Structure 1
Amino acid sequence: MNKVSSVFWISIALAAIFVIWGVVAPEHLATNSGELQGFLTDKFGWFYLLTIAIFVIFSIYLIVSPYGKMKLGQPDEKPEYNKITWFAMLFSAGMGIGLVFWGSAEPLAHFATPPTGDPETKAAAKEAMRYAFFHWGIHVWAIYTVIALAIAYFKFRRQAPGVISATFQPLLGDKINGAFGKTIDVIAVFATIFGVATSLGLGAQQISGGISFISPVENNFTTQFIIIIAVTVLFMISAWSGIGKGIKYLSNANIVLAGTLIILTLVLGPTVFIMNIFSSTLGSYIQNLPMMTFQMAPLSSEQNEWIQGWTVFYWAWFTSWSPFVGTFIARVSKGRTIREFVLGVLILPSLFSAFWFAVFGGTSLNQELSGQNTGLTDLATEQALFGTLEGLPMGMLITIVAILLISTFFITSADSATFVLGMQTTNGSLNPPNVVKLSWGIIQASIAAVLLRSGGLGALQTSAIVSAFPFAIILLFMIWSLVKALQEDGKHLKKQQEGTSSQHHSA
């Protein structure tokens, strides 16, 4: 089972070519990938929006459908992890660095440049919060729900290998073992590499931004590169120890640190304002959900450009993350019913994300609107959080907690990703060899460094959008395949129940 597949060698070769390209000709890489990103967002922005809308509708359907009772595993199997550890692991893998990076930065960015209306007004602040909830709410988790459910269902109920191509058995039959299957798995591996590299780049930028905010160290590529190397060594040690030790302990540490950070900010910040904005924005988010889901603003070039730069980027970034997050969530979800799984993955993290933005985004906007700490919108994106925390009592202490949290999120995300990449390139082994995980760790860190070198945040965003496009198409077909499997197994289960019932009657 631990045998390295041809997917490993093909993916490693392609990733190595990309790294060499970035080292030898960073400007050429930035120009070409930027042009491709522009083409995809301009011509296919609608495709990303409609695709994610389908994922949301399908996820909600599964909650209320008769299939909700079916288990991800055999009928008598119990969940491997308790609910708190399960939630901690799926949340650490699924959100991590992104939440900390954008918690203050995104609402401030929308406040300064809103999709509609005048900037830096109360109306802009309301819209800023609503879109932050939207970009980190159920749409994101619906992407993860679809892929994680498909992988877990085929892996634990049908004993299929834990690779993406195995979920296509009802559609492709034995072709999943040939070129078709290999192509699907290579695309999944590539989307994972670039999705995670984007997050590692963001993490390195923010740790560097935080350190430079509280010390004389400069926030530049050299500092970011040293951080990537240091964290790579740490997550390699964690990955070496396996999922039961390193990832589990770090995930629980993440929840403790995230809880500490959010409680300190809530208590020391504008508590009443935060709770009020959480409640009112949640209502506004639910009320405007259909409009925001399908909004492309074709008649307003400025608003259309805003949607492409934010919503389309996010949907693409989270899609590129989804093979990694989906495989990881599937791995830790054995024994749960489909209904319990979908509710757990879709609703709880969405609510936590909304509260996170209410605390950090609400604090930032309150400081700007009250005149207590103006100029936050002028800070570099990676320093927005630290600028906000500086305006609170015990600001230095909270900043140190924040840097620690980013570091542990960084390690957990990279750690989980090396495990998943190892799994995807060893025919779905639940315990991939350490040498394979080590190889992927080095590749991920190298690509994150290359992207930062060739264009910083812009290059990171570009890579996510480009790598996500082919995988979004794969995810749509995955839904079709999963529905076929559910229908087949549902009929089989019904026949079994009818057979058992008739035996009871005859007895």
Structure 2
Amino acid sequence: MKSLKHWVFWPPFLLVVVASILSFTNEGAFTTITTGANDWVITNVGWVFSLAGLFMVFVCVGVYFSKLGKVRIGGENAKPLLSFRNWFAITLTTTIAAGITFWGIVEPIYHLTEPPASMNLEPNSAAAAMFSMSTMYLHWTITPYAIYCIPALMFAFAYYNMKQPFSISSTLAPLLGDKLHGKWGKVIDAMCLYTLALGMAAAMGTSILNLSGGVNYLSGIASAPGLWAIVAAVVMITFIISASTGLMKGIRILSDINFKLFLFIIAFIFLVGPTAYLLNLGTESFGHYITHFFEKSLFTGAAADDQWPQWWTTFYWANWFSWAAITALFLGRIAYGHTVRSFIIVNFVLPSFFGGIWMTIFGGTSIYMQMTDGNLGDILTNSGPEALVYAVMGAIPFSEIIIPLYLFIVFIAFVTAADSTLAAMGGISSTGITPKSPEPGILIKAIWGVTISVVAWVMISFAQTDGIKMLSNLGGVPAVILGITIIFALIKVAKSPEKYDKTIKDSSEENDHKKAG
């Protein structure tokens, strides 16, 4: 704790703690404040999230083909920190993999049974099924990964090539220069810590519900606040232990295990499920997604006063922006030694492809069951989303084996994501973080881990998935402003990377020194 950045750590930490105390002591006031703030956000700022997410997709593609694409992170002589396979496994399992295990099964049924009112789609119709599946591609493929990729890439270049400090404010160095190293840099870092604390609590809330639903299915124990508290404690202890081992042990090992399990369960359900239906629905829905890409990306519901986009697309974009700012520190850190084009492939192209496959198989399976049996909508309404997940998994052959395996995947996926996030949060809260000394102290990781776990439990206990969405929306507002600013910083670098790349000068001086010697 001696290395603590007090002006970065304490403001967001105290804000989160005060919110938790208020929720216990005055639930009515807490609910009124958070609901009012959330309603304002989704009503007034939804269009910003939509435009920013779309813009990031185009910037990813543009940077890939720019001069910056050929640049190696860390300089021409930099040796990769991780192999390509390990790099991809870590990237995939520390971003939105924890979310797809829950929403990949649950979300399609929401859209199928309650499509947007303004579209006049009949619930449980073929048109609603098409809308549901194509919406899964919107929410879980290229746009969310573009939101992660841009700030992570900008940080990687700033940290390793521009020799900037380990700080999210370093991503703005091309725009603001040395002004970042004063109070404004601290303000930006504190703001990002706050947004990530809320975003991570939202993701943890989802994982708690998912795991509790599995425990309920296997043991009959009610999925209620008591069980949620036990699950939260177990998850918290595990990811703090993992975080204490450092990158090359905890995260690398867990992500490798989880990646293999992901591939296994995808292949298994594809083979034993309604294979032909999945392929046909996936093909047709992907065509619908591509054809209506701009319409779906920019759908705000304002013309018809439709709240659907605000509670789905805005929720997701806010969640991704909340996570992306600080997760950029981790994703950027592990990219050392790889080119910018490789970075975009690993952080944007391949994860998007994986997300599409996952949604086709798991989302398509739940849609098929609802369209043929019609009872998943009732389960969702009467028993909650966590029960729906295991109703679908329970209908799959060999479910007595697959469900415990699925539970293990969910558990490890969130532990891995939380481990990487705590490393980033601890790093931004501490002094002395450098490429040679990249790990923050375990105590600061533990403090953030406990705090976020408590907030996650509070929100799902009071509002369940609505609470998760409120956390994401509130945390996303400052994050999206930062994200838009980072876009312009990256564009500036992409135009003339040699102006900002200090490794070129260092390499030249090293060669001159060798010649002189």
State the TM-score, normalizing by the size of structure 1. 0.93
In structure 1, distance between residues paired with 2:38 and 2:154: 29
Are the structure 2 counterparts of residues 44 and 274 from structure 1 closer, same or farther at C-alpha, using a change threshold of 3 Å?
Answer: same
Are the structure 2 counterparts of residues 262 and 489 from structure 1 closer, same or farther at C-alpha, using a change threshold of 3 Å?
Answer: closer
Letter in 2 for 1:309: W
Match of 1:68 in 2: 69
In structure 2, distance between residues paired with 1:477 and 1:268: 47
Q: Is the 8 A contact 2:278 2:365 kept in 1?
A: yes
Aligned-pair distance for 1:67?
A: 1.8
Are the structure 2 counterparts of residues 492 and 465 from structure 1 closer, same or farther at C-alpha, using a change threshold of 3 Å?
Answer: closer
Alignment of 1:276-315 (within 5 A): 276-301=280-305, 304-315=306-317
Aligned-pair distance for 1:486?
A: 4.1
Alignment of 1:365 with 2:367, yes or no, is yes
Q: Is the 8 A contact 1:2 1:433 kept in 2?
A: no
Are the structure 2 counterparts of residues 401 and 476 from structure 1 closer, same or farther at C-alpha, using a change threshold of 3 Å?
Answer: same
Match of 1:434 in 2: 442
Alignment of 1:6-405 (within 5 A): 6=6, 7-115=8-116, 116=119, 117-301=121-305, 304-371=306-373, 375=378, 377-378=380-381, 379-405=383-409
Percent identity between the aligned chains? 28
Q: Is the 8 A contact 1:93 1:328 kept in 2?
A: no
In structure 1, distance between residues paired with 2:84 and 2:107: 30
Aligned-pair distance for 1:92?
A: 0.8
Question: Secondary structure of 1:198's match?
Answer: helix
Aligned-pair distance for 1:89?
A: 0.6
In structure 2, distance between residues paired with 1:95 and 1:428: 29
The answer to which of 167-176 and 67-76 deviates more is: 167-176
Are the structure 2 counterparts of residues 45 and 392 from structure 1 closer, same or farther at C-alpha, using a change threshold of 3 Å?
Answer: same
Match of 2:515 in 1: none
Q: Is the 8 A contact 2:133 2:285 kept in 1?
A: yes
Question: Secondary structure of 2:307's match?
Answer: helix
In structure 2, distance between residues paired with 1:451 and 1:386: 23
In the alignment, structure 1 segments of 5+ residues that lack a partner are none
1:387-419 C-alpha deviation (Å, 9 max, x unpaired): 111112112211111111111112112211211
Aligned-pair distance for 1:294?
A: 1.7
Q: Is the 8 A contact 1:194 1:464 kept in 2?
A: yes
Match of 1:448 in 2: 456
Q: Is the 8 A contact 2:90 2:256 kept in 1?
A: yes
Q: Is the 8 A contact 1:101 1:202 kept in 2?
A: yes
In structure 1, distance between residues paired with 2:308 and 2:387: 22
Are the structure 2 counterparts of residues 152 and 363 from structure 1 closer, same or farther at C-alpha, using a change threshold of 3 Å?
Answer: same
Q: Is the 8 A contact 2:311 2:469 kept in 1?
A: no
Aligned-pair distance for 1:343?
A: 2.4
Match of 2:479 in 1: 471
Q: Is the 8 A contact 1:90 1:328 kept in 2?
A: no
Alignment of 1:3 with 2:11, yes or no, is no
Question: Secondary structure of 1:76's match?
Answer: coil
Aligned-pair distance for 1:300?
A: 1.8
1:283-318 C-alpha deviation (Å, 9 max, x unpaired): 2222221221222233222xx311111111111011
Aligned-pair distance for 1:91?
A: 0.8
Aligned-pair distance for 1:78?
A: 2.7
In structure 2, distance between residues paired with 1:314 and 1:154: 27
1:353-410 C-alpha deviation (Å, 9 max, x unpaired): 1111111111111122223865455451122221111112112211111111111112
The answer to which of 291-300 and 189-198 deviates more is: 291-300
Letter in 1 for 2:391: G
In the alignment, structure 2 segments of 5+ residues that lack a partner are 513-517
Question: Secondary structure of 2:128's match?
Answer: helix
